[in-house]
Copies of this chain bind each other. A is one copy, B any other.
């Protein structure tokens, strides 16, 4: 397979990269200690089937801001590293269901989103090449017969109606021994998936019907502290501080005091850190629905007053998330600046901001890409409604650092991304263990 010659790679264009270069140096220098620690953790707490982790790289700080346990975007990965995905999938499924040969993939019902469907086609290909028979069982309401959708890549996906037979589900002539969910269940847990004898991975209760970001980041905070202790670094360098509010009603302005109070407390905490590290930036806070988003119900504030001054349009945008679900619980998270930029020809572009997204299958880092957005600033959310990011596949894997290059050279930076993404994965693993 060909590797796209991506000589155009993101650069950190900030004078504030000191602590991060320090962090990258520490991670590279303690590779075997880090890997041994992670090995021990995976023995205690097995990794979820797969995940994608949105990172933000502020130069002075590298942290996860979102961990998706039903990842899409597989089509954005460098095809040269598909073999890594295939091998990791073999590891994952042989453990989850050793005798499985039939896998039913249950995707989102976005039949008009070709980006999603291309990701689905790639995921299907990965599982097939890992040595499984794969069919796609759709939860699309009213689907009574198989529907084939042709894709721009020349591939096609065949969505088949799911049939329930007692405590099993199947599609026409195919009774899978494993159900692989690629649907975040933000619209609720469908009854057809309840009480099955077949294993479902990830389990449906990890969907956004039940999951809270604040629980994830509570676990992440603990992971970051343990990891920071291992390496004797400040956990804040890898951990965005956060608070949360329940009982919010944006339309009725219920809970506004909680939002304002927590915004102020977070800004205060971050201001103190910025001062300690000599970072001359204005802290900001990201307010988002505690249960799932597709870049919906999310906003950036720099003062408690902003929370109180929201106009009707802003309120209604915050009031509901994907599939119209009302937002009553809110996460307030330290905003992490994105200072990685990208420009054609390798020159640092003006304002072309790049946010890394790292993909994991089982406990293996299998690749990643950058969301590159030219119209957004370094403090904005890059996964926002109407965003038209350009995916830029990582040119290298995250597991092949090169000690003959500088700590911030591409393979080494990617290694750092892979480490921080695995910390987020470990937090997710602990969420699962706690629930199970």
Contact = CB atoms under 8 A, between A and B. Distances in A.
B400 A82 contact: yes
Interface string A322-346: 0000000000000000000000000
A33 B101 contact: yes
Contacts of A34: 131
Nearest to A398: B83
A398 B38 CA distance: 29
Contacts of A299: none
A101 B400 contact: no
Interface stretch (A86-94, A114-122, A159-167): A86-94
A36 interface: yes
Contacts of A86: 399-400
A349 interface: no
A128 B39 CA distance: 14
A133 B91 contact: no
A105 B40 CA distance: 22
A98 interface: yes
A225 interface: no
A32 B101 contact: yes
Interface in A86-143: 86-88, 90-91, 94, 98-101, 128-133
Contact of A99 (B39, B83, B131): B39
A349 to B, nearest CB: 24
A interface, over-half SS: helix
Contact of A84 (B5, B84, B128): B84
Nearest to A99: B40
A43 interface: yes
A36 B97 CA distance: 11
Nearest to A400: B83
Interface in A18-44: 31-36, 38-40, 42-43
Interface in A372-416: 396-397, 399-401, 411
Contacts of A32: 101, 128, 131-133
A42 B90 CA distance: 12
A1 interface: yes
Given A129-B399, A133-B32, A39 B83 contact: no
16 contacts: A1-B3, A1-B396, A1-B397, A1-B411, A2-B3, A2-B5, A31-B128, A32-B133, A34-B131, A35-B131, A36-B100, A36-B131, A36-B132, A38-B131, A39-B94, A86-B399
